[in-house]
Amino acid sequence: MIIITDNIEDKAYHYKDWYKKMASLIGTQFDTTTAFENSLSVGHKIHIDTENPVLPNGMTIAATSTTTLDDLTTKTLEVLSVSQVGNSKTINVGIRSTASKDDVE
């Protein structure tokens, strides 16, 4: 399982609407396959493209989440920590925009 736990965008943009929308994605959960989980390590980045927004094979938005793929467009998830208890692995990721600009609203 992957969970967005932090907005790692530059805090200087905290007053922007797009920054607030990103912060609202904290808590989003993703279901993952064991093979995909094992391919990730701290610092690994997952980019969701603008023109072809898809999640990598082995990663899906959890059924309990209200987040859509459109919410994740032009975002990067960066692995912050990986922990395992028994057979349950949890991967915490930070979210940021792939290209933050001051004039983006």
Half-sphere exposure of residue 27, counting CA atoms within 13 Å on the CB side? 6
Say what the pLDDT of residue 43 is.
Answer: 94
Percent of the chain scoring above 90 in pLDDT:
74
- Report yes or no: 65 and 31 within 8 Å, Cβ to Cβ: no
Taking 90 as the threshold, does the pLDDT of residue 24 lie above it? yes
The residue extents of the domains of the chain are: 2-97
Say what the pLDDT of residue 101 is.
Answer: 54
The SS3 of residue 23 is helix
pLDDT in tens, 38-68: 999 999 999 998 888 899 999 999 999 999 9
- Report yes or no: 80 and 92 within 8 Å, Cβ to Cβ: yes
Tell me the average pLDDT across 9-37: 93
Percent of the chain scoring above 70 in pLDDT:
93
Taking 80 as the threshold, does the pLDDT of residue 15 lie above it? yes
